[in-house]
Structure 1
């Protein structure tokens, strides 16, 4: 009995890893990258402090600092902006030949039958897909709305931590600090934001265009290797 229970547990463990491989792999990579950023940022920050004739700080103090917070959140907000624009934009915007686009005749929110909502919902459809009114309307846009909310929250966090980091630097240089409103209208805030936005938008545009003619066998982000270049909305 113990041996059978052990085998069942091992099978459940393998099933969990298989079912969640993508999120586990990227989640682990994210944590490793964040840890690497923390150590590298800490070393760079202490180097700047020594240059200014100040004492270095510990890793814990750096992780709690506005400098670490702004460096992290300025990247997060741009990622969520990218997904927000992509999720909502691809409802209407099309790219002939790209697997990142819907088929050319499907621009728009599509019919209830195509989306399997209301009376067209199936037995395994989410409960709110079968209901009407505000719940169905909200759930029908829940992914994009979540991306928008996460973007706004992380952008606000960038603005708050960025203002604190900027003012700390100003004080080290014996200059007067600025108010939060003045900071978000200033060059530092918009430079941080726009340098991330342009890279995310470039990545999305590149993927949409390159995937028309290039392939990656076995990837759902690519068309099948033998698919025509003009095939749109087809995934491998």
Structure 2
């Protein structure tokens, strides 16, 4: 099904199609362990049977209905302490892709790795960085987009572009546009245009500068609820929230939850 020919020079220059696999991230990691893949090599599948999310979460995906792919890059210019900047660039590329496909909806980037519409997940990102010394030797980045899926059976709130628009999309065209947007944002990162990337990221960050209730779940501590607002993401990638008591706190993944 996939004969992708994106207009790129790095990401998507080489595309490996596998009809089915457990996880495109796992598949590309296996290939890397056997051979040194060229930067930008993409693995794409029509049927991902055990897609991985952040820290063990799973990704529900009907075969031949969605985008499931992974690619490898070598961002050795990026210090490990600034690795979340890569997350920003990739999130924006996915946002760029979705915003061209559907109009009249408010697409948001939900920290740290989701794209949501109407509080429902439409896309997810999994970035695995491999660090040597103070820099990143290579990164394997997995992306899943709910495109033509008609229904979801899991308890997690999810949606697809088809559910939102009642329109079927050409998966090949979507994948090509995604790879082109990824290369564009990756190039901005390489050129150290992080201020531009961050401004754009905050423009679309879910609950940014909006007041609401949060639930804090710190390991070995009693969970608590509080009122506050997101003020950004700190250099280490933690979500920064100012409480109603003017205290700024920083949270890692799964340490904080938005209460709708």
TM-score by length of 1: 0.23
Which has more radius of gyration? 1
Q: Which has the higher contact order (CA 8 A, sep 6+)?
A: 1
TM-score by length of 2: 0.21
